[in-house]
Structure 1
Amino acid sequence: MGVYNIQFLFLIAFCLRTVVGHGDHTCGRGWTVFNGNCYYFSTSAVPLKDALVYCHGLGANLLELQNAEEENWIDLHCRIRGYRYGVWLGICDHQLEGKFVSISNGKGISYSHWIRGEPNDYRSNEDCALYWYTLKGWNDTPCSGKINYVCKKAK
């Protein structure tokens, strides 16, 4: 089976999952379901604080990736939706440089997938993180950058 056939089948599977997700009334209109959670994908890029406020208003948290399966699913969505860089992650190291914690609860993270050499706190100004789909990993970045975001809540 060729690479294009596999990609086509993956796209079909994604579309079917998305259609089912939009029909699931437990999440609400505009949400997509994956592995028992509801995801809302932004249509614009905003600074981290705006993404946090918007997700809170939806009764959700900013995306905190829990495993490679979820990360791969988010990667696919970033590509299909044409996001420029990727999406904000709901983690930061404001309190202690180099120790990233969950913004939603302040606890340490149990899963990470940093790009080689990251996090590096370039110019002592990178306290937030994003999933950078072109490099297939996480990068620390200034919180003021404009990045797309994903809100996540339990189903």
Structure 2
Amino acid sequence: MITVKTQIAILVGILAIQTAEPVRSCEKGWILYDKKCYSFSKSPVSFLDAMSACYDLGAQLLEIRDRFEEKWVDLQCRLRGYTYGVWLGFSDIQIEGQFVSLTDARSVRYVNWMAGYPNNLNGGEHCAMYWWPHKGWNDSPCSMKINYACTKPIENNRTC
């Protein structure tokens, strides 16, 4: 015979399972880091093509928000053998020298420009990139072909 204490323990266990927080994860092929899912490209493309590829995935082009995320992205670039780094979702195409986020058009809060950058070399550098061999940001021609990373919020999934 099951005791009252055991019945209560079983009931509490069942309720805990039913009310537990859903397991947060990324869909297959995406990598979870700090409450966001990341997808890293397999080949280099222009800035516009990178933006379009992310949009097609229901995501946005990477916008680095702090030095911890930047260090993690740096590691991912090195592990993948990227030549330059990745596009960042920041541009100064509207007002030269004022880089803004592509998602909300606000000024970039965290920056890590390499010394002397952004420099708008020859008047044609309006897209930001993380240049991993130099551990900093660079402004580049938007037509340059480099790798990219897309980000999106984690999906909520229930598991048994």
Which band: TM-score by shorter chain? 0.7 to 0.9
**Cα displacement string for residues 24-48 of structure 1 (whole angstroms, at most 9, x for unaligned residues):** 8842111000011000000000001
2:132 corresponds to 1:129: no
State the alpha-carbon separation in 2 of the partners of residues 25 and 111 from structure 1.
26
State the alpha-carbon separation in 2 of the partners of residues 69 and 26 from structure 1.
20
On the 8 A contact 2:120/2:139 being kept in 1, the answer is yes
Q: How many aligned positions are there?
A: 132
On the 8 A contact 2:25/2:32 being kept in 1, the answer is no
State the alpha-carbon separation in 1 of the partners of residues 147 and 28 from structure 2.
19
Q: Secondary structure, in 3 states, of the residue corresponding to 1:33?
A: strand
Q: Secondary structure, in 3 states, of the residue corresponding to 2:134?
A: coil
2:53 corresponds to 1:92: no
Taking the TM superposition and a 5 Å limit, the aligned residue runs for 1:5-84 are: 26-84=25-83
RMSD: 1.1
The code of the aligned residue for 1:35 comes to D
Where relative contact order (Cα < 8 A, 6+ residues apart) is larger, the structure is 2
State the alpha-carbon separation in 2 of the partners of residues 108 and 98 from structure 1.
11
**Cα displacement string for residues 58-96 of structure 1 (whole angstroms, at most 9, x for unaligned residues):** 111000000000000000010010001000000000110
Q: Secondary structure, in 3 states, of the residue corresponding to 1:134?
A: helix
Structure 2: gaps (5+ residues)? 1-22, 155-160
Match of 2:100 in 1: 101
Q: Calculate the TM-score normalised by the size of structure 1.
A: 0.83
Question: Which one has a bigger Cα radius of gyration?
Answer: 2
Q: Secondary structure, in 3 states, of the residue corresponding to 1:130?
A: strand
State the alpha-carbon separation in 2 of the partners of residues 144 and 78 from structure 1.
20
On the 8 A contact 2:88/2:128 being kept in 1, the answer is yes
Q: Calculate the TM-score normalised by the size of structure 2.
A: 0.80
> Could you tell which deviates more after superposition, 69-78 or 104-113?
104-113
- The percentage of aligned residue pairs carrying the same residue is 49
Match of 1:150 in 2: 149
Off by >4 Å, runs of 4+ in structure 1: none
Match of 1:119 in 2: 118
